[in-house]
Structure 1
Amino acid sequence: MASFSDDNYDCSAYAACRPPPPKHLFDTVLAYHQAPRDLCIDLGCGNGAAARGLASHFGSIFGVDPSESMLKEARAQTKCRNVHYRQCWAESLPFVQTGTIDLVIACQAAHWFDPDLVWKEMTRIVRSGGTVAFWNWGNYVVVGHAHANRALRKFSSEDLASYWPQPGKAIWDDCMRPVECRDFSNWTDHTRLESDPSGAPHALRTVENIRMQISDTLGGLEALLRTWSSVHEWRRAHPHAASVRDGGAGDIVDNLIQDMIEGEEDWRRITMSGGDWREIKLELETRSVLLMVRRA
């Protein structure tokens, strides 16, 4: 999507700050998968985290992404000889022969796909019995810190509301339903798994094997937030609002961090006593949605 393909987007920060898919996610996908493990494609591979996570399970893996800058990061981090990268859109994979792919996986990418086009291409390339798995996570919860959690929700849903690229954000807000496979003639065993720490009523199932938990610091959270596409778009719209770390008066992320610290007594006490707020430890959990389907 446009933000990640922007020449000014910091792909190295994305690679450094975004947590990789956890092992139990791969275990869940592999337990569902019943086809051979010869050829896998990672759609919207970004810095290649999912491709590397599956490298020991498949003969060959291709990571595809429209952003050459992301692929540069992926190639730099990947030592596995069976992982290869191509600049391509998920909706059109002309280098892939019909009916040859055992597993297609997309982590943190399917909300940017055109559903009709991507499923047409999946039907073409996936072999009989092969698997497609789309996994997305988001909607951060700061565990055990009510004020910080409210501030983070407001930051995402109100302060950045007009900066989230569409239709990707709307697809995620609808729990990935717009990109679910609706073709029941070519695909079977449609499976949806959800984990939602907020307890929202839309969560159909909360399952431990797709749960996304992150142990981090407040400084790590700040760095992660700066990789959000919406923050990138906000900064494009406010080119003169320099962050504190860049010597400015502060930007939208700095304002959030200050609000979080001021509203959490223990965090405020640490900073008032001279402690570094960046070292404050916290636990994050996110909503997680995994969609899986098998080629008939």
Structure 2
Amino acid sequence: MATIDRFSGHADLYAHYRIDYPSELYDFLVPLVTTRTTAWDCATGNGQVASALSAYFEDVTATDISEQQLKQAVQKPNITYTVCPAEQTPFPDHCFDLITVAQALHWFDTDTFHQEARRVLKPGGILAEWGYGMAQIDPVTDPVFYHFYDNIVGPYWDDNRKHVEDHYARIPFPFDQIEYRDFTIRRNWDLDRFLNYLRTWSSVQKYIRQHGNDPVLWVADQLKTAWGNDEREVRFPVFLRAGRS
């Protein structure tokens, strides 16, 4: 399976407008880890998860295939960033207490990645994989947003996106003592912030490259009256699975 990079071309936009994850997720995840010396955040992007993990682990290694993404990453004294694919790393055997993958598993050769994760996890170490689904705002906004997702940029999603829609149900998870949890991301955004989040989507960037115009302007036109100048609560459902090596 060829390595897929859909985010290097808009790494700066991604760094400013991509979402982070709720504290409740880490409150659940971290106590599963029996020792908290080393963690690996795989496909870290601009380091959202790595930054959170740095508060709990002595050393955090964060990797991505995109050098451009890592140039935008959060810098902390105990985070080391490395450019490498998820499926083949330079790390020694059994060196990590925790491995995390946030909103990226669907881009991997998952069988090969899981073999690599098992190799580098310490005995009894934890692998946690999570993602998030479609935003929910209100009954007026949601139909416009969903039409945009399904019909305007829908044809420009990679097939991999289907794995996010079904919460990775079709991707095997060959680990023990598996736990599943759901969380909710809640953010208060004005319309401009929401539109720029949409521009981080790989489907939107693919549309722009093919057509030379920004499809998000359609959303802006449809929502500017209903949204107004105020902030709205935007909610994202998060699904997580964690297992032990």
**Residue 294 (structure 1) aligns with:** 244
Aligned residue type for 2:157: W
Match 1:4 to one of 2, 7, 14: 7
**Residue 46 (structure 2) aligns with:** 47
CA distance in 2, matches of 1:288, 1:114: 22
Q: Are 1:88 and 2:81 matched, yes or no? A: no
TM-aligned CA deviation for residue 154 of structure 1: 0.9
Q: Deviations over 1:155-206 (max 9, x none)?
A: 1122111111232x0111121123341x2xxx31111223xxxxxxxxxxxx
CA distance in 2, matches of 1:131, 1:148: 38
Q: Deviations over 1:77-129 (max 9, x none)?
A: 31x21100000111111x21111110001112112121111111111111111
Match 1:161 to one of 136, 154, 165: 154
CA distance in 2, matches of 1:136, 1:36: 25
Match 1:258 to one of 218, 221, 244: 221
**Residue 21 (structure 2) aligns with:** 21
Give the 5 Å matches for 1:1-296.
1-5=4-8, 9-33=9-33, 35-74=34-73, 77-78=74-75, 80-93=76-89, 95-142=90-137, 145-167=138-160, 169-181=161-173, 183=174, 187-194=175-182, 210-239=183-212, 241=213, 251-262=214-225, 264=226, 267=227, 277=228, 279-295=229-245
CA distance in 2, matches of 1:288, 1:50: 14
CA distance in 1, matches of 2:16, 2:149: 21
Structure 1 residues without counterparts, runs of 5 or longer: 195-209, 242-250, 268-276
Runs of 4+ in 1 over 4 A off after TM superposition: none
Q: Percent identical across equivalent pairs?
A: 26
Aligned residue type for 1:160: V
CA distance in 2, matches of 1:65, 1:2: 10
Structure 2 residues without counterparts, runs of 5 or longer: none
Provide the alpha-carbon RMSD of the alignment.
Answer: 1.4
TM-score of the superposition, structure 2-length normalised? 0.94
- Whether the aligned pair in 1 keeps the contact of 2:87 and 2:113 (CA below 8 Å) is yes
Residue 124 of structure 1 aligns to a residue in which SS? helix
CA distance in 2, matches of 1:238, 1:281: 31
Q: Which has the larger radius of gyration?
A: 1
Question: How many correspondences in the alignment?
Answer: 242
Residue 36 of structure 2 aligns to a residue in which SS? coil
